[in-house]
């Protein structure tokens, strides 16, 4: 007889019902009874309450309708479903297609007889009662926990538990001694109580201080925290901050000493990060900013260099600043506690005009399309520069997943490992088609002088974001630019044209590189820096030299 196996586990039951254990038991039953297993279906980490979310279960039903097997094996009946209606409807459908359902650990049930169906109904009723009662008791427990001042769910950024700090100390992290001293200085009743995370809580307080000035948006604060090395925590994982992760932190009453259950806030047992009065003032500032955003015209507030320009001395991301009817760029280094000797604020138009002049001087030679295609051929294998590292990380992720399914890795440890790997993968460069990228880059640069002169500030912002990774500012002027890889390669072609037209030096704005791949300033005093991590200077100069 042709048999298939269906396995399932929910997160709550991970340690008891693993994929491997269920499949092993079902295969042993099939072998004892002369069945041939033709396929295995599985739904990991999905509740038994409903069928509609189980993709593999639905695939099994489609195959049953097609007559692909004769017997469906499950480890226990509750792997199949805990819904009385779903179970009877599905069993009826399988019966109509001549498929027998067998529970390998509940062989006393013969679902093809009246007595078997009666026992089945009783078993399913008990399973359904169990899951509904469990949900009700869980809700009651969470509500009572909140009423006693305890937290539910994941702790917000800035908080942790003594248990987690103890784990860090046991793992002998670099700051183990500091964490031990900190843990001895705080009071708590249980290892799962909420206490401050000593590093993160300073990040929260920095966010509050910046927002209280009324001069910083959620995005500005996210950039400030990222520059200081802070990363998100809890459900967000360890990722860079964004406006979408800063906003709920600034609005969370938990930081004022409260906990909530289903929208009702109650006094919490944990220590407040800021007093309630200060938190309420913070919300008043949010309301005022929201109203201001709705009523203020934004036509004069576009900054083409925003999210791209950085101070050359301190590395801080510059932000737009509107004052006395003019647009400026502002270096907020001092607000973040950084030392920087550069001018804090300078007018936006002169540096934007400087970039416009630089771009206007980029001239592509005749036959540039053919030369770019030669570059593509010379580096045809460079479509995924991080292929090896990507494969290594994906292998680690697959191994962690297998250990989790087998029960050898608990859920918190699996989440930590998964988040670490996902962050590392997100930092890798994406594979691309070099021919398409280079030709598109060249076509944009070939018309850039006219496009830039006709563009408004919003359009210029899109141009800057398309071409550059970073624009470095020093003494209120652009000192260097870091183009994105495709544009860097095209600028190399412009540089070669400049050398051919001149006395061996590139024209203003031409590309830069000495014999040791170090950036050198062209006549226009703006260095062009190769993209970080991509040693393209020597590679492409070599390709150009071979062309003649």
Over the stretch 90-148, which tens digit does the pLDDT of each residue have? 877 887 888 888 888 876 555 555 666 666 666 656 656 665 666 676 677 777 777 88
Based on the fold, state whether residues 289 and 307 are members of the same structural domain.
no
In degrees rounded to 5, what are phi and psi of residue 361?
-85, -5
Residue 544 in any domain: the answer is yes
Last residue of a domain, one of 426, 455, 477: 426
Residue 443 in any domain: the answer is yes
For residue 58, give the CATH number of its domain. 3.40.50.1390
Residue 144 in any domain: the answer is no
Is 3 within 8 Å of 71 (Cβ atoms)? yes
Based on the fold, state whether residues 507 and 358 are members of the same structural domain.
yes
- For the chain, what is the mean pLDDT? 78
Tens of pLDDT, residue by residue over 268-279, are: 889 999 999 999
Q: How confident is the model at residue 432 (pLDDT cuts 50, 70, 90)?
A: low
pLDDT of residue 379: 54
Highest mean pLDDT among 44-53, 405-414, 498-507, 536-545: 405-414
**Token digits of residue 354:** 């400087």
Least confident among 123-132, 172-181, 301-310, 532-541: 532-541
Rounded distance between C-alpha atoms, residue 10 and residue 17, angstroms:
8
Q: In the predicted model, what is the mean pLDDT of residues 526-546?
A: 53
Last residue of a domain, one of 268, 295, 322: 295
Would the pLDDT of 514 be above 60? no
Is 341 within 8 Å of 505 (Cβ atoms)? no
Would the pLDDT of 175 be above 70? yes
Residue 150 in any domain: the answer is no
Residue 239 in any domain: the answer is yes
Based on the fold, state whether residues 441 and 419 are members of the same structural domain.
no
**Top-confidence residue, 295 or 107:** 107
Last residue of a domain, one of 295, 316, 339: 295
Based on the fold, state whether residues 437 and 304 are members of the same structural domain.
yes
- Looking from the CA of 235 toward its CB, the CA atoms found within 13 Å total 8
Residue 307 in any domain: the answer is yes
For residue 243, give the CATH number of its domain. 3.90.1750.20
Q: How confident is the model at residue 438 (pLDDT cuts 50, 70, 90)?
A: low
CA angle 381, 385, 389 (to 5 degrees): 130
Q: How confident is the model at residue 338 (pLDDT cuts 50, 70, 90)?
A: confident
| Domain hosting residue 413, numbered range | 387-426
Q: How confident is the model at residue 473 (pLDDT cuts 50, 70, 90)?
A: very high
Is 158 within 8 Å of 196 (Cβ atoms)? yes
| Beta-ladder partners of 74 | 6, 103
CA torsion sign, 106 to 107 to 112 to 116?
negative
Based on the fold, state whether residues 318 and 273 are members of the same structural domain.
no
CA separation, residue 159 to residues 86, 93, 223, 245, 324 (Å): 42, 51, 21, 15, 42
Based on the fold, state whether residues 281 and 201 are members of the same structural domain.
yes
For residue 120, what are the contacts with CB-CB under 8 A and spacing of at least 6? 77, 87, 91, 109, 111
Would the pLDDT of 32 be above 70? yes
pLDDT of residue 288: 80
Helix (H) or strand (E) holding 103: strand 100-103
Based on the fold, state whether residues 288 and 313 are members of the same structural domain.
no
Q: In the predicted model, what is the mean pLDDT of residues 443-460?
A: 80
Based on the fold, state whether residues 240 and 333 are members of the same structural domain.
no
Based on the fold, state whether residues 281 and 400 are members of the same structural domain.
no
For residue 98, what are the contacts with CB-CB under 8 A and spacing of at least 6? 67, 70
**Token digits of residue 172:** 């002998």
pLDDT of residue 60: 93
**Token digits of residue 388:** 């090896």
For residue 108, what are the contacts with CB-CB under 8 A and spacing of at least 6? 119
Rounded distance between C-alpha atoms, residue 376 and residue 489, angstroms:
10
Q: In the predicted model, what is the mean pLDDT of residues 194-221?
A: 90
**Top-confidence residue, 294 or 328:** 328
% of the chain surpassing 90 pLDDT: 24
How would you label 3-18 residue by residue, b for 16+ Cβ within 10 Å and e otherwise?
bbbbbbbbeeebeebb
C-alpha gyration radius of the chain: 31
In degrees rounded to 5, what are phi and psi of residue 17?
-115, 90
pLDDT of residue 477: 93
Q: In the predicted model, what is the mean pLDDT of residues 308-318?
A: 92
Q: Are strands 2-9 and 36-44 parallel, antiparallel or unpaired?
A: parallel
CA torsion sign, 64 to 68 to 70 to 75?
negative
For residue 139, what are the contacts with CB-CB under 8 A and spacing of at least 6? none
Rounded distance between C-alpha atoms, residue 231 and residue 224, angstroms:
11
Residue 463, classed as helix, strand or coil, is helix
Q: Are strands 468-474 and 309-311 parallel, antiparallel or unpaired?
A: parallel
**Top-confidence residue, 533 or 199:** 199
Residue 67, classed as helix, strand or coil, is coil
CA separation, residue 97 to residues 81, 91, 100, 178 (Å): 19, 10, 9, 66
Based on the fold, state whether residues 129 and 222 are members of the same structural domain.
no
- Looking from the CA of 189 toward its CB, the CA atoms found within 13 Å total 5
Q: In the predicted model, what is the mean pLDDT of residues 349-360?
A: 90
Helix (H) or strand (E) holding 41: strand 36-44
Based on the fold, state whether residues 394 and 378 are members of the same structural domain.
no
Q: Please tell me the total count of domains within the chain.
A: 4
pLDDT of residue 534: 44
**Token digits of residue 378:** 């010379």
Nearest alpha carbon to residue 467 among 409, 476, 451, 477: 451
Nearest alpha carbon to residue 471 among 368, 275, 329, 338: 329
Least confident among 7-21, 177-191, 233-247: 7-21
Is 318 within 8 Å of 310 (Cβ atoms)? yes
Rounded distance between C-alpha atoms, residue 308 and residue 28, angstroms:
61
Residue 62, classed as helix, strand or coil, is helix
Would the pLDDT of 475 be above 80? yes
Residue 253 in any domain: the answer is yes
pLDDT of residue 61: 92
Would the pLDDT of 544 be above 70? no
Rounded distance between C-alpha atoms, residue 41 and residue 36, angstroms:
15
**Token digits of residue 237:** 């994982």
Output the pTM of the full model. Answer: 0.42
**Top-confidence residue, 531 or 99:** 99
Based on the fold, state whether residues 26 and 133 are members of the same structural domain.
yes
**Token digits of residue 282:** 């913070």
DSSP E strands in 136-270: the ranges are 159-160, 195-196, 258-261, 264-267
């Amino acid at each position: 007889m042709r048999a298939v196996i269906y396995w399932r586990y929910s997160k709550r039951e991970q340690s008891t019902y693993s994929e491997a254990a269920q499949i092993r038991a079902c295969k042993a039953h099939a072998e004892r009874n002369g069945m041939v297993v033709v396929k295995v279906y599985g739904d990991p980490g999905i509740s038994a309450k409903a069928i509609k979310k189980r993709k593999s279960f639905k695939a099994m039903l489609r195959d049953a309708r097609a007559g692909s097997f004769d017997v469906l094996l499950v480890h226990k009946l509750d792997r199949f479903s805990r819904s009385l209606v779903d179970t009877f409807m599905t069993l009826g459908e399988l019966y109509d297609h001549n498929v027998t359902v067998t529970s390998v650990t509940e062989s006393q049930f013969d679902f093809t007889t009246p007595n078997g169906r009666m026992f089945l109904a009783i078993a399913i009723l008990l399973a359904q009662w169990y899951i509904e009662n469990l949900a009700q008791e869980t809700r009651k427990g969470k509500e009572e926990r909140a009423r006693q001042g305890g937290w539910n769910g994941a702790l917000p950024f800035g908080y942790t538990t003594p248990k987690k700090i103890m784990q860090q100390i046991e793992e002998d992290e670099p700051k183990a001694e500091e964490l031990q001293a900190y843990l001895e200085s705080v009071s708590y009743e249980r290892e799962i109580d909420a206490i401050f995370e000593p590093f993160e809580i300073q990040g929260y307080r920095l966010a509050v201080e910046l927002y209280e000035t009324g001069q910083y948006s959620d995005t500005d604060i996210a950039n400030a925290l990222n520059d200081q090395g802070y990363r998100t925590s809890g459900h967000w994982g360890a990722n860079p901050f964004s406006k979408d992760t800063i906003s709920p932190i600034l609005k969370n009453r938990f930081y004022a000493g409260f906990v909530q259950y289903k929208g009702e806030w109650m006094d919490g047992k944990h220590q407040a990060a800021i007093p309630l009065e200060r938190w309420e003032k913070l919300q008043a500032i949010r309301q005022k900013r929201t109203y201001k955003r709705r009523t203020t015209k934004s036509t004069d507030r576009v900054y083409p260099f925003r999210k791209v320009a950085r101070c050359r001395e301190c590395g801080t991301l510059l932000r737009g600043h509107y004052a006395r009817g003019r647009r400026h760029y502002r270096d907020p280094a001092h607000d973040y506690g950084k030392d920087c000797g550069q001018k804090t604020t300078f007018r936006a138009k002169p540096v934007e005009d400087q970039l416009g002049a630089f771009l206007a001087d980029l001239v592509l030679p005749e036959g540039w399309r053919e030369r770019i295609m030669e570059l593509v051929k010379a580096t045809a294998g460079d479509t995924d520069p991080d292929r090896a590292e990507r494969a290594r990380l994906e292998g680690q992720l697959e191994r962690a997943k297998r250990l989790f399914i087998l029960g050898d890795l608990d859920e918190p440890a699996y989440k930590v490992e998964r988040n670490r790997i996902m962050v590392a993968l997100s930092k890798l460069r994406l594979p691309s088609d070099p021919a398409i990228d280079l030709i598109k880059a060249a076509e944009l640069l070939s018309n850039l002088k006219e496009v830039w002169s006709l563009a408004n500030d919003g359009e210029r912002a899109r141009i800057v974001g398309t071409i550059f990774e970073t624009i470095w500012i020093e003494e209120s002027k652009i000192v260097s630019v870091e183009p994105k890889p495709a544009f860097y390669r095209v600028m190399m072609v412009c540089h070669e044209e400049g050398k051919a037209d001149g006395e061996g030096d590139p024209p203003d704005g031409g590309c830069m590189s000495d014999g040791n791949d170090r950036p050198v300033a062209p006549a226009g005093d703006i260095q062009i820096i190769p993209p970080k991590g991509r040693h393209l200077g020597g590679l492409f100069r070599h390709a150009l030299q071979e062309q003649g």
